[in-house]
Structure 1
Amino acid sequence: MNIYLLVGIKFILGILIMILQIHILGKYEFSVNTPLNQIQNYVLGGIIGGVIYNTSISILTFLIFILVWSLVVIIVKLMVNIDFVKSLVVGTPTTLVKNGKVNVANCTKVGISAEQLMLTIRTEGLDSTEDVKSAIMETNGKLTIIDMKSSAPRFPLISNGKLNEDVLEIIGHDKDWVKSKLKERGIDSINDVFLGEYVKGRLVVTVYPKM
């Protein structure tokens, strides 16, 4: 087979597989910067870039390689709602400052220096860590900061059926309060909630559609 035709077929197959992954996993997964997405992009780029110009590797072998890798990624994505898997491949939000107290160990763990922490705090219009109620490093590397005067958190109270204990502490309520509010709406379990927001003292809930 002509070398240019071989490279062209491999290139087209690689593009089609990437489009297939986007449709299966969703566009959002390719827009966020998580450890799993970085690994996926590196390996996929290596497979396509390293194999596409190697004429000794047949189209069938190339297709098997890329399909196997796609299957691995899809399986991991489907398992990511399991807490252990999620913490391993995606990570979990890390609290750096809580009620004005800096957690130095967590800052070191995520690789943020004192200067970088203070720069982010100043960009939020705050002068000191003592003005910070909560500073959390999100899984995408963004630092979310809530000042002491804020009564509304900037992140969900409930997401994907999971209750955020840090938000509970910020709003001054407990798990029983959440359950009672859900009961008022005829919702039996926190696991039934896709998204729960705390807005001006109210719990705004979006539930999973019933099968």
Structure 2
Amino acid sequence: MDIDYFELFVKLALGFAAFVLQISLAGRGNLAPSNAIDQLQNFVLGGIIGGILYNPSITTLQFFIVLLIWSTIVFGARFLANHNNLARRILIGQPHTIVHNGKIDTDFATRAGISAQELAFQLRQHGASNLEKVKRAVLETNGTLTVTLQNDPTAYYPVILDGQVDEDALDIIHRDRDWLDTQLESHHIEMSHVYMAIYQDNQLQITQY
């Protein structure tokens, strides 16, 4: 099979440009994927470039259009996830507390496919040899476990992320949405303007966009 090296070069350049563009516009999180969109973006983009690169029946223009379509889908999904709670839960998921004050949420663990052996291993890795010492263990969207031990002076709770409330974190600190709204009103800040709000040492630390 004869290979048109010039066309191969152009396709490689387009693939490289698409990858760099997606990283630049979407942030560098997809270099260390933290959710399903990051992982899927890399897998599919690699498959598109690898599958089309040596296929002479697919022209450079068709290759460019496929890259454009995939980039549009990725950025559209990211936009929805960042601006709509329902879309975020569907596309990315959300962190979930699997252990609270030494009590395991077995229903969630079963739904998430986490065995007792796997959970115990993850807790031991975080220095939690005694379940009663675990104040909170959160299963993150990338499948890792974040563990907070009892009486940990460095513990903090993100109650707002990207302008969206973490109801689970509010429940952990024994606060509700009315309390949070009052706190924001006292600072004359709208929810949509909050990049991150962290509750630590009985204080709410707010960072705006």
TM-score past 0.5 threshold: yes
Letter in 1 for 2:13: I
Alpha-carbon offset, residue 2 of structure 1 = 5.9
SS in 1 for 2:158: coil
Identity of aligned residues (%): 36
Normalising by structure 2, we get a TM-score of 0.88
Indicate yes or no: 2:163 matched with 1:161. yes
Q: What is the distance in 2 between the residues matched to 1:108 and 1:135?
A: 15
Q: What is the distance in 2 between the residues matched to 1:75 and 1:102?
A: 36
Q: What is the distance in 2 between the residues matched to 1:76 and 1:28?
A: 15
What does residue 122 of structure 2 align with? 120
Q: Is the 8 A contact 1:153 1:170 kept in 2?
A: no
69 and 144 in structure 1: CA distance in 2 versus 1, 3 angstrom threshold: same
Alpha-carbon offset, residue 52 of structure 1 = 0.5
Indicate yes or no: 2:9 matched with 1:8. yes
What does residue 184 of structure 1 align with? 186
The structure 1 segments of at least 4 consecutive aligned residues displaced by more than 6 Å after TM superposition are none
Q: What is the distance in 2 between the residues matched to 1:151 and 1:173?
A: 19
What does residue 64 of structure 2 align with? 63
Letter in 1 for 2:81: V
Normalising by structure 1, we get a TM-score of 0.88
Letter in 1 for 2:182: S
Alpha-carbon offset, residue 22 of structure 1 = 1.5
Query: Unmatched 5+ residue regions in structure 2?
Result: none
For residues 162-203 of structure 1, the C-alpha deviation after alignment (integer angstroms, 9 at most, x for no partner) is: 22222223323333333333233222x333321111232211
Letter in 2 for 1:197: I
SS in 1 for 2:195: strand
Letter in 1 for 2:160: I
Letter in 2 for 1:106: F
Map 1:123-134 onto structure 2 (within 5 A).
123-134=125-136
Q: CA RMSD in A?
A: 2.1
For residues 35-94 of structure 1, the C-alpha deviation after alignment (integer angstroms, 9 at most, x for no partner) is: 222222221111110111011211111111111111111111111121221112211112
Query: Unmatched 5+ residue regions in structure 1?
Result: none
What does residue 100 of structure 1 align with? 102
Q: What is the distance in 2 between the residues matched to 1:195 and 1:171?
A: 16
179 and 84 in structure 1: CA distance in 2 versus 1, 3 angstrom threshold: closer
Q: What is the distance in 2 between the residues matched to 1:202 and 1:33?
A: 28
152 and 181 in structure 1: CA distance in 2 versus 1, 3 angstrom threshold: farther
Map 1:55-94 onto structure 2 (within 5 A).
55-81=56-82, 82-94=84-96
Indicate yes or no: 2:179 matched with 1:196. no
Indicate yes or no: 2:82 matched with 1:50. no
For residues 106-147 of structure 1, the C-alpha deviation after alignment (integer angstroms, 9 at most, x for no partner) is: 112222221221122223222222222221100011101122
SS in 2 for 1:57: coil
